[in-house]
């Protein structure tokens, strides 16, 4: 894990240097300096839409996840603004109940609902958690859900989602690609279109701009070559990039992978292989299918990804903005 790695590096520096204590403090705080005013990203899940355990899966990773009660949640991140005691949620997963409890336990020490929700697209892991805001569950009032135009129509015109709008459980706000959506004077979100299987909605990535740093949240895309933007160029302009890592290789599932295209992690690493280390270090792979051994932090594949200079997003990680 990143913290561990940084911590070990820091201790090495400490041992090698007589003024190590200064360096130790400096290098630890440069990764994540949490104070009352700096916003940060908090990782609420890193699994592909269908979660872990995965329905129909009897492999060890699914049975372990089930038996050991080790928590694995579907991909989502929160943008935490502790100063104002509020946060924005990026994607609303079927694990929303647990994920909001994580925020209560680890961040605010009290139950706070999201001030803003941003949804990437209408695939099951990314929006169906909305159902828990409805009459059968929370019965919330006016939670602001920011969606792109096709997603706006999809939710407005199809039950059960339309009932959330009719009852006022959620308040839909239509946004457009490239809008600069100000959450606070020093916090903004920019939706960016990405090519994906757009059956019910368009698909968005989000640029999240903080006072000092920018993050890219891009959990789903068909292929980097289909994108109008160069990933390498994008990486130059961000500090963290949470990127689609659904499949590590194309032989890990017994279905036609052409029907569910994603950039394979080996392809993404290959595409970025010539970049300097500090650019690779911005990448945090996320949205891993239950077949992807990167979900197991101790697997050989996880180790080899880290060794190549990339990172893997893990539950509970924090990133200063």
- Nearer to Zn ion among residue 262 and residue 282 (C-beta): 262
183 SS3 class:
strand
- Nearer to Zn ion among residue 49 and residue 202 (C-beta): 49
Name the minimum Å distance from CB 127 to Zn ion.
Answer: 10
Considering only residues 133 through 162, tell me which ones interact with Zn ion, judged by CB under 5 A: none
Name the minimum Å distance from CB 268 to Zn ion.
Answer: 16
- Nearer to Zn ion among residue 196 and residue 209 (C-beta): 196
Specify burial of residue 47 (Cβ count, 10 A radius: 0-12, 13-18, 19+).
buried
What is the distance between the alpha carbons of residues 11 and 210, in angstroms, rounded to a whole number? Answer: 29
- Of 23-31, 50-58, 147-155, 215-223, the segment contacting Zn ion by CB under 5 A is 215-223
Specify burial of residue 306 (Cβ count, 10 A radius: 0-12, 13-18, 19+).
middle
What is the distance between the alpha carbons of residues 29 and 7, in angstroms, rounded to a whole number? Answer: 10
Considering only residues 111 through 130, tell me which ones interact with Zn ion, judged by CB under 5 A: 123, 125
The yes or no reply on residue 202 touching Zn ion (CB under 5 A) is no
Name the minimum Å distance from CB 169 to Zn ion.
Answer: 24
Give the residue nearest to Zn ion (CB): 123
Do the strands 187-193 and 311-312 form a parallel or antiparallel pair, or are they unpaired?
unpaired
Question: From the CB of residue 28, how many other CB atoms can be counted at a distance below 10 Å?
Answer: 16
Name the minimum Å distance from CB 71 to Zn ion.
Answer: 19
CB 57 within 8 A of CB 290: yes
Name the minimum Å distance from CB 45 to Zn ion.
Answer: 11
Name the minimum Å distance from CB 56 to Zn ion.
Answer: 17
What would the two tokens of residue 199 be? 């059956």
The yes or no reply on residue 220 touching Zn ion (CB under 5 A) is yes
- Of 47-55, 157-165, 174-182, 288-296, the segment contacting Zn ion by CB under 5 A is 47-55
Q: Can you tell me which of 38, 43, 46, 49 binds Zn ion, judged by CB under 5 A?
A: 49
Rounded to a whole number of angstroms, the CA Rg of the chain reads 19
Under DSSP, the state recorded for 145 is: E
Count of all residues that appear for the chain in the document: 321
Which DSSP helix (H) or strand (E) runs through 307? helix 300-307
Number of residues that bind Zn ion (CB under 5 A): 4
- Nearer to Zn ion among residue 39 and residue 191 (C-beta): 191
Which residues of this chain interact with Zn ion, rule CB under 5 A?
A: 49, 123, 125, 220
């Amino acid at each position: 894990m990143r913290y561990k790695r940084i911590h070990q590096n820091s201790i090495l520096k400490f041992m090698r240097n007589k003024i190590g204590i200064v360096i130790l403090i400096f290098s630890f705080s440069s990764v994540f300096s949490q104070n009352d005013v700096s916003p940060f990203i908090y990782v609420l899940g890193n699994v592909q839409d269908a979660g872990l355990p995965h329905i129909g899966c009897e492999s060890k990773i699914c049975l372990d996840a089930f038996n050991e009660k080790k928590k694995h949640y579907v991909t989502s991140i929160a943008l935490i603004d502790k100063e104002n005691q509020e946060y924005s949620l990026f994607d609303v997963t079927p694990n929303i109940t647990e994920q909001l409890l994580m925020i209560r336990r680890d961040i605010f020490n009290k139950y706070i609902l999201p001030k803003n929700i941003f949804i990437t697209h209408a695939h099951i892991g990314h929006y169906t958690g909305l159902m828990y805001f409805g009459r059968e569950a929370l019965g919330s009032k006016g939670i602001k859900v920011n969606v792109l135009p096709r997603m706006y129509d999809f939710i407005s015109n199809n039950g059960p989602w339309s009932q959330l709008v009719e009852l006022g459980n959620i308040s839909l706000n239509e946004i457009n690609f490239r809008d600069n959506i100000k959450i606070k004077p020093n916090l903004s979100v920019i939706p960016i279109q990405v090519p994906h299987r757009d059956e019910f909605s368009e698909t968005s990535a989000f640029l999240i701009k903080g006072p000092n740093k920018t993050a890219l949240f891009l959990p789903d895309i068909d292929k980097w070559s289909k994108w109008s933007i160069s990933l390498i160029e994008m990486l130059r302009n961000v500090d963290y990039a949470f990127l689609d890592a659904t499949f590590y290789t194309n032989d890990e599932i017994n279905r036609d992978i052409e029907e569910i295209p994603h950039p394979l992690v080996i392809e993404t690493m290959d595409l970025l292989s010539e970049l300097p280390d500090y650019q690779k270090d911005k990448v945090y792979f996320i949205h891993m299918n239950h077949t992807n051994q990167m979900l197991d932090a101790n697997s050989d594949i996880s180790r080899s990804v880290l060794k190549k200079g990339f990172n893997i997003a893990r539950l509970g990680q924090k990133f200063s903005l």
